[in-house]
Amino acid sequence: MSAAIAARLVGTWRLVSYETLDDGAERGRPYGDAVGRLTYDALGNMSGQVMRPDRAPVTNGEGRAQQVRTAYLGYIAYFGTYQVANDGRSVVHRVEGSLNPGWVGGNQIRALRFDGDRLVLQAKVEKGDGVVRHELTWERCA
């Protein structure tokens, strides 16, 4: 099953939506009308990027450090290799490079399912007061 799922992942995907759901069933859109691309190749390589589209440009001068911080917090980017779990219900992204240095050398595990032609990836992130589920829905663009 995992080989069939891996074959179905191969290609380039465009982000359709990025939503969060916390323990209190409150929904959010942490990156607003987020845009992104996700690519898987047949050799086991992957890369992904998600960004908040309304980020302000970084300029020289006063406030630059805060501008850089805001720009950084509005962008996720990493690349590496991937492997689909034997049961076909999750994918492990082995991070080789990332905008967030803390992710380099680690794994990003995503529950996965297909909803028709769309790919849905979910990650559970523990916060101090509970768990937040991040759900990203993708459609194939190449």
- How far apart CA 1 and CA 8 sit, in angstroms, is 11
Per-residue pLDDT tens digits for 12-46:
999 999 999 887 678 899 999 999 999 999 999 99
> Is 0.75 surpassed by the pTM of this model?
yes
Beta strands in 41-117 (DSSP E): 45-51, 75-84, 90-98, 107-115
Domains of the chain (ranges, CATH numbers): 2-140 (2.40.128.280)
Contact 40, 8 (CB under 8 A): no
| Residue owning tokens 């905008």 | 99
Closest CA to 18 of 42, 35, 6: 35
pLDDT at residue 14, as a whole number: 98
